[in-house]
Amino acid sequence: MTTTLRWGIISTGRISGVFVKDLLIDPKTRDTHDVVHKVVAVGSRKVETAQEFVAANAGGDASIKVYGTYDEVYADKDVDAIYIGTPHTYHYINALDAIRAKKHVLCEKPVTSNAAELRALLAAAKENGVFFMEAMWTRFQALPQAVMKLLESGELGAPVVVHADLSGDFDIHNIPKTHRILDPALGGGALLDLGPYPMVWAIMTLFENPRNDFTAPSNITASMLKTPLTGVDANTSFTLTFDKIQAQAVLSCSINATPVSPGVTIRCEKGVIRVATPIYCSKSFKVEYLEKGKVVREEEKKFDYVGFGLHFEADEVARCVRDGKSESALWSHDKSLLEMTVFDEVRKQGGYVFPKGVEQVV
Ligand SMILES: NC(=O)C1=CN([C@@H]2O[C@H](COP(=O)(O)OP(=O)(O)OC[C@H]3O[C@@H](n4cnc5c(N)ncnc54)[C@H](OP(=O)(O)O)[C@@H]3O)[C@@H](O)[C@H]2O)C=CC1
Ligand SMILES: O=C1OC[C@@H](O)[C@H](O)[C@H]1O
């Protein structure tokens, strides 16, 4: 039996286009046989933009309904699940509107502007009996799962330090100050846009480590370097201390630096794992096995698939909805909550306050 999940797409920006293209790839190319996806409706603030979006990303498929408001997508009876690809600070209101219309929701990262907004959304999702998940696509790819399996095997001993960085050169001196990466009203800066990826690696390797038993970090330290352009963080560094397993995550992100490889280094008692950049959809990692501090064996593992990689999270949504689940076990609500709680603390220590009115719940 194959389940079809019928999607409504909210907004027509860059990542929504990538998501739609991934949805339209034959799931069999990734050995998925139990779920398929159908794009039923696209909503934009202008109907013409929605039409152009369908032409550019879905071969002009005339069966896809195009709307000039997001509300019409939420109200569409043929839509099962909503994908939200708007700028960060709109996620809360868009997700809330979708949930109140009793639609299942997959919401881009960072799931909200702060932890309080997320708590409110989770309560609304529960009240309306719908599935809700942050689109943390990295968690559903085969490579991070292989890394986690290797860590859990114990072959490398316990993890000691995880270094993870995601940087991107957004050419910040030459883009408009209203660009979502620079505008504080859109949650601009490195932390909210790129920070979720070093964070997901800390969650996968330390928070989810069976020996840690989902214990939150006991200590968070952070420093932010703001750009004078708009005051958002150009560079942010933060550390998470996991007392229970005696390990630390040293994380960083930047909007004005070229990414470096490896983007993630996991140093364990008896070995080191190096994950190639980009850390959100890495295609290879190297392992060094150590004996008495000396490298005794090295190996490299490579991964590939058709598409950008957002379809794996979409498959998870389809399976969870099919099975009547309210959340995914792989990227559960508590992990998004941990992420947003850490980000609140990092912003507090870094002195990054959103303009008045941006946070819908505080
Ligand atoms: N998973 C991943 O790999 C990625 C995730 N993202 C996440 O997706 C979100 C969107 O990023 P991205 O696609 O790059 O952004 P874009 O700026 O390309 O697109 C955002 C879209 O949101 C809609 N929108 C609604 N209100 C506003 C507003 N006030 N200002 C600007 N746009 C608005 C617009 O669509 P319309 O005109 O149709 O209403 C716009 O095209 C972010 O939260 C980001 O973190 C981004 C890139 C990669
Ligand atoms: O999620 C993302 O990953 C890739 C980045 O370029 C993008 O800005 C970010 O939103």
Nearest of 206, 303, 304, 300 to residue 247 by alpha carbon: 206
Q: What integer pLDDT is reported at residue 228 of this predicted model?
A: 98
Nearest of 80, 5, 86, 6 to residue 43 by alpha carbon: 86
CB distance 108 to ligand 1 below 6 Å? yes
Residues 92 and 208 in one domain: no
Residue 63 domain flag: yes
**For residue 226, what are the CA distances in angstroms to 197, 199, 229, 356?**
20, 20, 9, 18
Over residues 226-248, the mean pLDDT reads 98
Q: What integer pLDDT is reported at residue 270 of this predicted model?
A: 98
Q: What is the pLDDT of residues 126-163, one digit of tens each?
A: 999 999 999 999 999 999 999 999 999 999 999 999 99
Task: Write the CATH number for 270.
Answer: 3.30.360.10
Residues 76 and 174 in one domain: no
Mutate to test the pocket of ligand 2, among 11, 14, 15, 254 (most ligand atoms within 8 A of CB): 15
Over residues 2-13, the mean pLDDT reads 98
Whole-angstrom distance, CA of residue 103 vs CA of residue 321? 10
Residues 156 and 231 in one domain: yes
Could you tell me the residue range of the domain that residue 9 belongs to?
Answer: 3-136+310-331
Residues 198 and 319 in one domain: no
Residue 357 domain flag: no
Task: Write the CATH number for 16.
Answer: 3.40.50.720
CB distance 168 to ligand 2 below 6 Å? yes
Place of tokens 């008045």: 356
Q: What is the pLDDT of residues 168-224, one digit of tens each?
A: 999 999 999 999 999 999 999 999 999 999 999 999 999 999 999 999 999 999 999
End-to-end CA distance of the chain: 44
User: Helix or strand or coil: residue 278?
Assistant: coil
Residues 61 and 112 in one domain: yes
Please tell me the pTM assigned to this model. 0.98
Residue 360 domain flag: no
Number of domains observed in the structure of the chain: 2
Q: What is the pLDDT of residues 290-319, one digit of tens each?
A: 999 999 999 999 999 999 999 999 999 999
CB distance 359 to ligand 1 below 6 Å? no
Over residues 56-62, the mean pLDDT reads 98
Q: What integer pLDDT is reported at residue 280 of this predicted model?
A: 98
Q: What integer pLDDT is reported at residue 325 of this predicted model?
A: 98
Whole-angstrom distance, CA of residue 83 vs CA of residue 18? 12
Whole-angstrom distance, CA of residue 11 vs CA of residue 68? 10
Residue 261 domain flag: yes
CB distance 327 to ligand 2 below 6 Å? no
Residues 290 and 154 in one domain: yes
